[in-house]
Amino acid sequence: MGIQKISETDITIPEALEILSAQEDLKQYQRLVLDYLKEASKLPADKAKKLLEELMKEAGLTRKEAVMLVNILPKSKHEIMAILSGGRDKEFLTLEKVEKIKSIIDKYA
């Protein structure tokens, strides 16, 4: 019997870095991933978790949307609109919502 997936959840790059850093005896590909995560991580894990929670609670984003924003940390409203506009089934993304998202991100970036 092989490995069985019990559950799945989207996590941020800082969260993945925290998880992989805690592991011992990493295989070569895991060390490569760890090196990538160290370079790609833009926030400490605790700040990333707080930002993620605030984006979901205050801006009404899905976890997947919030994870993308935490990983990228967009600097402009246009970047936020580009990230969130693709495949969005929910309500239309308003300028007010984008501004709210940007103000939340700016507190952590």
| One-letter-per-residue 3-state SS of 6-46 | CCCCCCCHHHHHHHHHCCCCCCHHHHHHHHHHHHHCCCCHH
Span 3-55, pLDDT tens digits: 788 999 999 999 999 999 999 999 999 999 999 999 999 999 999 999 999 99
* Stated pTM of the model: 0.87
- Note the pLDDT of residue 30: 95
Distance CA 88, CA 96 (A): 17
Sole residue written with tokens 């011992």: 24
Give SS3 for 74.
coil
Architecture of domain 45-108: Orthogonal Bundle (1.10)
- Note the pLDDT of residue 92: 76
CA angle centred on 72, ends 74 and 40, rounded to 5°:
135
